[in-house]
């Protein structure tokens, strides 16, 4: 096979490996693929120059994100009213940009560690991969979707999450990939030791998952999660406002006095709080009279600027407000609005001029239980949701995933929420307008759920858990320390190998 044919085959293989990795995540959950796909890519990189490794990584990223976040098109075109050509252009452009992260991983690995040493495979590769995953979560508003570790909510490796968050799980996965490649490269010499190290990583993760990082305290709370299933096509329509209000009210009335907490999803009331005051006052009276607390999503208009907060409010005996801190670019706000306003004025996205809430906000308190809320996309960010507050008893996510259409985004979103439950070792309530609505155990397992696109109420019970895990206490510091150690070991090994040749 000549060089052009070989390069083409390698490129196609890289793309297929990226597509394969998508099946490690929800809804498929074939979690071993999160070891095998990166291992295949690493094997391709070892035969490539830094430049070729860059393009192989880019192909891998295009395959992964093209098959994993294709639903961006649905959000932009179907619900953002963007014409098909421009929606395709934006979606392709977005995938093209985030594909640079695996491309940079390949380039940096082969540029700075040209010698194929054991340390390059087992330490440098994981450190660079996970560092760039972290950067992807932070830079340019951040996009932490499909971080490698999210695929392991049902595998033994989830035991690393309470110590190092999802990044620690990604580190364990990529170390496993490196060990696998090293074992096949040196079948006779190091096969046994590599496989034993691989077994140790997975066994340690499984044992860590049995550690009770938090303890139960207080009585279990009865909860009712209301899934109104209001279609996105009519959700923000003034003509259908009464449909939304009546549906949620009808579903809630039988629950008053029976559940401790009734929860409605994000923007369940699709008009600003100031314009729905009479409806809210009536709801509050019902909540106070019944002894049932009500949590719901509603926009709040800022009187001074006319912009809006995406908010959660609590009604009943305990009052509280949380405003969304991390907004979705082009969905809830427009970056560089003064420059792009004329270009994007045809995009009919409701509430697209929102303002982020304060960084530090108090948890919601109901029945002496502190609840840490997140709205929609926020739950995807490990650093954003991390809280060292010991007195938080459970986590809450309210969302409107109807923006994603009938795609893999909804189960992927739920899987990220499950990883947050594991990191906190606390129960999590996930309340969606059109599904999936679920109650998640502290170990990330789905305790109860109701299907998508159904009008339904999920009734259940949750036990508040108190205490903090090492991740909540220490944050990224231990992970960054591991990065430094891993890179240092790889640098030393690379220098020794270079001198030997």
- Active-site annotation holds for 119: no
- The catalytic residue among 324, 332, 378, 410 is 324
Spatial neighbors of 288 by CB under 8 A, at least 6 apart, are 315, 316, 317
Q: Is 146:157 a contact under the CB 8 Å cutoff? A: no
- The catalytic residue among 119, 133, 376, 423 is 376
- The catalytic residue among 133, 266, 332, 423 is 266
Q: Is 293:260 a contact under the CB 8 Å cutoff? A: yes
- Active-site annotation holds for 47: no
Specify the DSSP element, H or E, that contains 50: helix 50-68
Residue 358 DSSP class: P
The DSSP code sequence of 413-456 is HHHHHHHHHHHHTS-EEEEESSS-EEEE-TTS-EEEEE-TT--E
Is the C-alpha dihedral spanning 141, 418, 320, 303 positive or negative?
Answer: positive
Radius of gyration of the chain (CA): 24
Alpha helices in 209-332 (DSSP H): 232-235, 241-252, 277-290
- Active-site annotation holds for 319: no
What number of H helices and E strands is found in the chain? 18, 14
Place of tokens 């992964």: 64
Q: Is 453 left (phi over 0), alpha (psi -120 to 50) or beta?
A: left
Active site residues: 266, 324, 376
């Amino acid at each position: 096979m000549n060089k052009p044919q070989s390069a083409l085959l390698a490129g196609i293989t890289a793309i297929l490996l990226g597509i394969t990795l998508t099946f490690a995540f929800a809804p498929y959950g074939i979690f071993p693929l999160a070891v095998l796909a990166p291992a295949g890519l690493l094997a391709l990189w070892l035969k490539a120059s830094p430049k070729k490794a860059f393009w192989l990584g880019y192909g891998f990223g295009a395959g992964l994100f093209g098959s994993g976040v294709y639903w961006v098109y649905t959000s932009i075109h179907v619900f953002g009213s963007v014409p098909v050509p421009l929606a395709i252009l934006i979606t392709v452009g977005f995938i093209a940009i985030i594909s640079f992260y695996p491309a940079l991983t390949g380039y940096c690995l082969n540029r700075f560690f040209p010698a194929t040493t054991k340390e390059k495979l087992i330490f440098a590769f994981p450190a660079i991969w996970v560092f760039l995953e972290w950067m992807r979560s932070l830079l340019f508003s951040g996009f932490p979707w499909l971080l490698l570790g999210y695929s392991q909510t049902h595998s033994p490796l989830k035991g690393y999450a309470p110590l190092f968050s999802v990044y620690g799980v990604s580190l364990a996965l990529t170390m496993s990939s490196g060990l696998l490649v090293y074992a096949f490269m040196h079948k006779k010499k190091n096969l046994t030791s590599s496989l034993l190290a691989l077994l140790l990583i997975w066994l340690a993760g499984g044992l860590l998952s049995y550690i009770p990082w938090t303890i139960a305290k207080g009585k279990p709370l009865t909860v009712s999660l209301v899934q109104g299933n209001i279609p996105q096509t009519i959700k923000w329509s003034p003509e259908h406002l009464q449909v939304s209000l009546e549906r949620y009210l009808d579903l809630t009335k039988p629950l008053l006095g029976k559940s401790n907490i009734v929860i409605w999803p994000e923007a369940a009331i699709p008009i600003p709080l100031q314009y729905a005051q009479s409806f809210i006052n009536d709801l509050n009276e019902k909540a106070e009279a019944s002894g049932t607390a009500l949590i719901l999503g509603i926009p709040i208009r800022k009187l001074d600027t006319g912009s809006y907060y995406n908010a959660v409010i609590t009604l009943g005996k305990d009052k509280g407000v949380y405003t969304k801190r991390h907004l979705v670019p082009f969905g809830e706000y427009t970056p560089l609005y003064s420059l792009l306003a004329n270009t994007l004025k045809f995009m009919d996205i409701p509430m697209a001029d929102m303002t982020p809430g304060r960084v530090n906000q108090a948890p919601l308190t109901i029945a002496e239980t502190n609840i840490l809320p997140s709205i929609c996309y926020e739950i995807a960010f490990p650093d954003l949701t991390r809280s060292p507050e010991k007195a938080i008893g459970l986590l809450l996510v309210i969302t409107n995933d109807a923006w994603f259409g009938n795609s893999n985004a909804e189960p992927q979103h739920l899987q990220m929420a499950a990883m947050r439950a594991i990191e906190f070792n606390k129960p999590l309530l996930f309340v969606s307008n059109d599904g999936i609505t679920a109650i998640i155990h502290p170990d990330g397992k789905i305790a109860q759920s109701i299907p998508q696109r159904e009008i339904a109420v999920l009734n259940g019970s949750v036990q508040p858990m108190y205490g903090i895990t090492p991740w909540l206490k220490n944050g990224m510091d231990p992970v960054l320390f591991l990065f430094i150690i891993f890179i240092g070991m790889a640098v030393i090994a690379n220098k020794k190998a270079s001198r030997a040749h």
